[in-house]
Structure 1
Amino acid sequence: MPAIQIYLASASPRRRALLRQMGVAYRLIPVAVDETPLPDENPPAYVARLARTKAQVGVQALGRRKPCPVLGADTAVVVDGVILGKPGDRQQGLAMLALLSGREHQVLSAVALATSTGAAVKVQESRVRFRELTPLECADYWDSREPLDKAGGYGIQGRAAAFISELHGSYSGVMGLPLFETAELLREFGIHF
């Protein structure tokens, strides 16, 4: 097994898979961060703050064991300037899908790398358009349980891919970790993969 290159401050299986796809050796470091938006915080600032905070909390959790940078990430689905988080229940999930139906939305994905001496953040924006969805499609999708833990109530890498008529931006960013921006940060920190 290769030597650890970074710590990952995320429980997301999608982020783990994307790091493996890049060939980055990592170890998980659990972090808990309040994801409540600040008053008057715009969506790009929100995802950047959360990614940076997760990475910095990871650095603090490591204490004196600081051999590698910590990667934090956050993704938000945004409609008309409003951040859609993870659906709390069926009613919320169906309402999110109905809101996304037949229209374009933004997906903002931020990635941060932090060490004990500082942090760097990059934000990637994608635009995604859903085709018109029927209430039955929305209900069936919710019942699949796939959208339960996903920002905006859908996952591009799963069944919801059939809902997407257009994507402008980063597929991996919509999944939760923009690989181009992640690669840039890793190179800036001298990490080869």
Structure 2
Amino acid sequence: MSGLYLASQSPRRTELLHQVGIDHIVVTSSYVEKNVVTKDPIEMVRAQALGKARCADNVPNDAIVLGADTIVVFDGQVLGKPHSKDEARVMLRTLSGQVHSVITGVAMLIKGHEIVFHNETKVYFKTLQDFEIESYIDSLEPMDKAGAYGIQGKGALWVDKIEGSYSNVVGLPVEQVYEELCKALGVKE
């Protein structure tokens, strides 16, 4: 086995894997995120994670490839990464004082098999004041994050509580990735 290849440019996913001691090599993926129109957000993130893993560039044939996609869902609506400050503002106002889901689809290509799963975490947001939203947007932190916030950054100030995996909200449910890797490789935890 050549090792684990992460088909993601997300520094947060790399940090999470390093944090739990999973060595990996970061590679690009030629997959183009289309946010395929589907009524099922879970189906969408699973398909996108698999697409990223399948299109990983420069990996040996016997490598383990990991792809992931994270979205925020509120009231059935998918909130991806904002394309503008105005879009970030709308997303943050939408999430203010509400409960939303963070869903990450994960795909692993290993020993000729495709293992695809997802993780969902409920996030309870405090009510945000306009000055808090504006200050946060000015920091530019929300611009590369699904739902326009990062729980691992200043956005943590607004999270009242979560139900589920913290690392999932950051971008990769590492505890579940570890379990699936152990199972696929026949390693007892």
Structure 2 CA distance for aligned equivalents of residues 153 and 79 of structure 1: 13
Structure 1 CA distance for aligned equivalents of residues 7 and 54 of structure 2: 9
Q: Which runs of 4+ in 1 moved over 4 A?
A: none
User: What's 2:20 paired with?
Assistant: 22
Aligned partner of 1:28: which letter? V
Structure 1 CA distance for aligned equivalents of residues 186 and 8 of structure 2: 19
Structure 1 CA distance for aligned equivalents of residues 86 and 52 of structure 2: 29
RMSD (CA atoms): 1.8
**CA displacement, residues 114-147 of structure 1 (integer Å, 9 cap, x when unaligned):** 1472210111111001111011100100111111
**CA displacement, residues 153-175 of structure 1 (integer Å, 9 cap, x when unaligned):** 00000001010112101100000
Gaps of 5+ in 1: none
Aligned partner of 1:34: which letter? V
User: What's 1:7 paired with?
Assistant: 5
Structure 1 CA distance for aligned equivalents of residues 186 and 104 of structure 2: 21
Aligned partner of 2:16: which letter? L
User: What's 2:165 paired with?
Assistant: 170
Aligned partner of 2:113: which letter? G
* CA positional deviation for 1:186: 1.1
2:116 is paired with a residue whose SS is: strand
User: What's 1:51 paired with?
Assistant: 49
User: What's 2:32 paired with?
Assistant: 34
Check 1:23–1:191 CA distance in 2 against 1; reply closer, same or farther (3 A cut). Answer: farther
Residue correspondences, number? 188
Aligned partner of 1:130: which letter? F
User: What's 1:124 paired with?
Assistant: 119
- Out of 83, 86, 89, the position equivalent to 2:81 is 86
- Contact 2:2–2:64, Cα closer than 8 Å, also in 1: no
Identity of aligned residues (%): 38
Aligned partner of 1:114: which letter? L
Structure 2 CA distance for aligned equivalents of residues 39 and 90 of structure 1: 24
- Contact 2:5–2:24, Cα closer than 8 Å, also in 1: yes
Structure 2 CA distance for aligned equivalents of residues 179 and 28 of structure 1: 16
2:185 is paired with a residue whose SS is: coil
Structure 1 CA distance for aligned equivalents of residues 186 and 2 of structure 2: 11
* CA positional deviation for 1:34: 2.6
TM-score when scaled to structure 1?
Answer: 0.91
Q: Work out whether 1:105 is the aligned partner of 2:103.
A: no
- Contact 1:4–1:25, Cα closer than 8 Å, also in 2: no
* CA positional deviation for 1:110: 1.6
Structure 2 CA distance for aligned equivalents of residues 32 and 91 of structure 1: 29
- Contact 1:106–1:127, Cα closer than 8 Å, also in 2: yes
Q: Mean Cα displacement is larger for which, 33-42 or 86-95? A: 33-42
Gaps of 5+ in 2: none
Check 1:97–1:191 CA distance in 2 against 1; reply closer, same or farther (3 A cut). Answer: farther
- Out of 148, 153, 163, the position equivalent to 1:153 is 148
Structure 2 CA distance for aligned equivalents of residues 44 and 129 of structure 1: 20
